[in-house]
Amino acid sequence: MLIIGPPGSGKGTQAERISGRLGVVPISTGDIFRANVKGETPLGIEAKKYMDAGDFVPDSVTNKMVRDRLSESDVENGFLLDGYPRTTAQVEYLDQILADTEEKLDVVLQLTADDEELVSRLLGRAKETGRSDDNEGVIRHRLDLYHQQTEAVVAKYAERGILTQVDGIGGIDEVTDRVLLAIEAAKAV
């Protein structure tokens, strides 16, 4: 399963809740990037340049990281990818990873939210956490990139009939309830 949505839509929060309820491993590329940046690994140093500018980390770096992560034994009973794939090239790479292990995606969950609501949420988060990559200019740039690149990903999964959209606006518990109902409905199809 994977979860898609614009920055600030609550993907990370919902991914943790969904994985806990369904007993699958949450895999967040954002968390992996931040851990590498904090650890000042070569990957982290490279990723930080892009993250600070509000750009996506290049596919070459991201794809290798995801392939390595999906080869670990804790994903045998399922996983929930958060933040990947973001481009159609990454969709194709993920398709190959899954084909190599004879796996397939069951559900692609898209959290939706209004851009102005997202800007407000992310500015609030930046104040609370002191994240250097969250100022209004960078936030709007990230939202523009999301719309330019990720909407093609959403369309690809919609064509395959595995996309489920859920409104990401509301209280955390309210959104979680909507998400779990949508997953159950998708599994029943």
Exactly one of 67, 125, 140, 178 is catalytic; which is it? Answer: 125
**CATH number assigned to the domain comprising residue 48:** 3.40.50.300
Q: Residue 23 annotated as binding?
A: no
- Tell me what pLDDT residue 155 has: 95
Q: What is the pLDDT of residues 96-122, one digit of tens each?
A: 999 998 999 999 999 999 999 999 989
- Tell me what pLDDT residue 66 has: 85
Report yes or no: 168 and 121 within 8 Å, Cβ to Cβ: no
Total tally of structural domains belonging to the chain: 1
- Half-sphere exposure for 130 (CA within 13 Å, toward CB): 0
- Tell me what pLDDT residue 132 has: 66
Report yes or no: 9 and 115 within 8 Å, Cβ to Cβ: no
Exactly one of 17, 48, 121, 142 is catalytic; which is it? Answer: 142
Q: Residue 125 annotated as binding?
A: yes
Residues 6+ apart with CB under 8 A from 61: 43, 46, 47
Low pLDDT (below 70) residues in the chain = 131-133, 188-189
67 catalytic, yes or no? no
11 catalytic, yes or no? yes
Helix (H) or strand (E) holding 26, with range, is strand 25-28
Q: Dihedrals φ, ψ of 48, to 5°?
A: -60, -35
- Tell me what pLDDT residue 47 has: 83
- Torsion sign, CA atoms 159, 163, 164, 170: negative
Q: Note down the domain range covering 128.
A: 2-188
Q: Residue 17 annotated as binding?
A: no
- Tell me what pLDDT residue 96 has: 96
- Tell me what pLDDT residue 67 has: 85
Angle formed at CA 64 by CA 58 and CA 68, multiple of 5 degrees: 150
